[in-house]
Amino acid sequence: MATANMLLLNPLANAASEPAKETPIEIELVRSVLEGDRDGFSKLYHLYSPLVHGILLARVPRAEVDDLVQDIFLHAFKKLHTLRDGAAFGPWIAMIARNRAVDFHRRSRETVEITDDLRGSDKQEARAAEILELIRSLPHAYRETLVLRLVEGMTGPEIAVRTGLTAASVRVNLHRGMKLLREKLGFTEGL
């Protein structure tokens, strides 16, 4: 199961089965940034900050997410010259975000996460934090896709394009993840 999840998360594993969509705007933006245009990077930031936010929200405490988003984009700005293919900006920054989340957990204690996330300013936010905890208890491959779909409001095809995963992988992750989440929430499937 874990191996299957890893395969679903790895864009290269499915590259042969389904060709990646072309994203010329990223290529142009990356090129312009490398030529010194900072506005180009602001556009990349606006395009991809919900993705990075969603990836982090599936992994680290909410209170840390906003600062980490900024850190990740600053890091990406400094290391952009190492990106060979501008079209791969999405998968590249998604990988940076996942690695940063791993680093965060390596340095911090688990107790911080629980106390931090259950604190909501109102009832709805508290309920949202509870559901987010349930999503975080799902397998890795499902939690990220579900957060991007249910929290960030991205569609399946958008998730596929932004993360570099195949559409089929995202669809499977959404379907299976939603099934597990319904069970945890006590929802009756097919309502």
Footprint of other proteins (CB under 8 A): 38, 41-42, 45-46, 49-50, 53-54, 57, 62, 66-67, 69-71, 73-75, 77-79, 107-108, 124-125, 127-129, 131-132, 149-153, 155-157, 171, 174-175, 178, 181-182, 187, 189-191
Closer by beta carbon to other proteins, 2 or else 38: 38
State the minimum distance, in angstroms, from the CB of residue 18 to other proteins.
Answer: 15
Distances (CA, A) of 62 to 85, 117, 129: 31, 6, 9
Closer by beta carbon to other proteins, 31 or else 79: 79
State the minimum distance, in angstroms, from the CB of residue 91 to other proteins.
Answer: 19
State the minimum distance, in angstroms, from the CB of residue 166 to other proteins.
Answer: 13
Closer by beta carbon to other proteins, 13 or else 167: 167
Contacts of range 17-20, beta carbons closer than 8 Å, 24 or more positions apart: 17/166, 17/168, 18/166, 18/167, 18/168, 20/87, 20/164
Q: CB neighbours of 93 closer than 8 A, spacing ≥ 6? A: 48, 51, 52, 72, 73, 76
Say if residues 62 and 125 touch (Cβ distance below 8 Å).
Answer: no
Half-sphere exposure of 37 (CA within 13 A, CB side): 12
Closer by beta carbon to other proteins, 2 or else 154: 154
Closer by beta carbon to other proteins, 3 or else 122: 122
State the minimum distance, in angstroms, from the CB of residue 140 to other proteins.
Answer: 18
Q: How far is CA 107 from the centre of its chain?
A: 21
* Selection from 107, 94, 6 nearest residue 54 by Cα: 94
State the minimum distance, in angstroms, from the CB of residue 106 to other proteins.
Answer: 11
